[in-house]
Amino acid sequence: MTDGKRRRGLAAASALLGGVLVLSACSGGDDSGSGDGGNDTSQAQVDEAAAKKSSEAQIVITPKDGSNNASINNSATVKVSKGTLSEVKMTTTDGTAVSGEISADKKSWKPSVQLERATTYKVTATAEDSEGRAAHENASFTTVAPDNSFIGTFTPDDGTTVGVGMPVSINFDKAITNKAGVQKGVTVSTTSGQEVACHWFNANRMDCRPDEYWQEGATVTLKLALDGVEGAEGVYGVQQKTVTFKIGRNQVTYVDAKTKQMKVTQDGKTVRTIPISAGSPENKTYQGQMVISEKFKETRMNGATVGFTDDDGEGEYDIKDVPHAMRLSTSGTFIHGNYWGAKSIFGSVNTSHGCVGLQDAKGADDPNTPGAWFYDNSMIGDVVVVQNTGDKTIAPDNGLNGWNMSWEQWKAGSAV
């Protein structure tokens, strides 16, 4: 063998042996191997050290990252276990900050303002464990959109004092098909202990009342627990609210279109009798129990808005400063002051287009007129019972006038 061939042979043998050694090392070898076994032990020590450096604090953000149709009431809560919160930031996608508060024990956080519908929010939270090691969590979610949610506009308002006839009336901005589910989320109770039942007039309106008028001095509580309740397919409630109102003195007024006199009673006793002028024979006033739903010291009344027009389509009347007007129906029945009629008509002849008129002064600035007195001594929710007009009884849903249904009829309209 020449010297060149011998060198090439040794190189090949060396490469072959090297390959065997590499294969032997990759296959693990025996436990007595000196180099690579030591590297495994070193890596385990690194992993253990890294674990010891990780925070034990565990942060949970509700709702989960990427959620849609999130609640505007109960979303964006941040809680931590095995640690305490050190910082929470919440913003809208345009960077607007949302204020919030960390609890006294630093275990939770929530917004201090009402969230908006159809808005995407981002939450970042930092917490520390007992060793001071930090943990971080992030989430983004979108609240329920108006098209996918419903709200109920209710009356009376929180904290008000109303008359004994005032029902709780809720008008929903979406048609409700799951009436039972929604009604179960609405609770009305009274300190008088009276049973309260709810009645659906249609898919958008539900009123609640007791069998008889509310008891004087009672406190009524309305609870709306509608957050997340499916009112219709894909449409969810967003309200979570408690409202209380008080029942004032018991005042019921009786209007007699035949005698053309109005008797105002409190606790069943007559406190004043006032001459009136009701609807004319051609435009009779509705009969029945009506509830004052609005009060206006002065308001405009145009016949065109309630169907009284002349041949040119103009209103048969247009009075821009009707004094001391109180609404009794949605369709336009009022009990109000009248300064344009002669004083002689009150108590003697019915001349109106369907309203009940009381003698009054232009400008609503004379406190001594019957119209001013009745206005000053009336409140939202007072009952006005109109009798002997010769017209039909007002529809129960025309205003807040559900008292014109029997208790049995009323409860028959409940969904639960």
- The catalytic site residues sit at 336, 355
Q: Residue 374 contacts by C-beta under 8 Å, 6 or more apart in sequence?
A: 253, 262, 264, 274, 324, 335, 358
**Nearest alpha carbon to residue 355 among 312, 314, 326:** 326
Question: Assign residue 209 a region: left if phi > 0, alpha if psi is -120 to 50, beta otherwise?
Answer: beta
HSE-up of residue 396 (Cα within 13 Å, Cβ side) = 20
352 forms beta bridges with 279
DSSP-derived secondary structure letter, 173: S
SS3 229: coil
| Contacts for 359 with CB less than 8 Å, ≥ 6 apart | 275, 337, 338, 341, 343, 346, 369, 370, 371
How far apart, in whole angstroms, are the C-alpha atoms of residue 369 and residue 163? 23
Q: What is the DSSP letter of 116?
A: P
Q: What is the DSSP letter of 409?
A: H
Query: Are the CB atoms for 352 and 280 separated by under 8 Å?
Result: yes
The tokens for 141 are 């979610």
Helix, coil or strand: residue 276: coil
CB-based burial label for 36 (10 Å; 0-12, 13-18, 19+): exposed
DSSP string, 300-340: EEEGGGGT-B-TTS-BS-EEEEEEEEEE--TTS-EEEEESS
Q: How many Cβ atoms sit within 10 Å of the Cβ of residue 21?
A: 11
User: Which residue from 162, 255, 209 is spatially nearest to 404, judged by alpha carbons?
Assistant: 209
Q: Which of 327, 387, 374, 352 is nearest to 277 (CA)?
A: 352
Name the residue among 218, 170, 168, 217 with its Cα closest to residue 194.
218
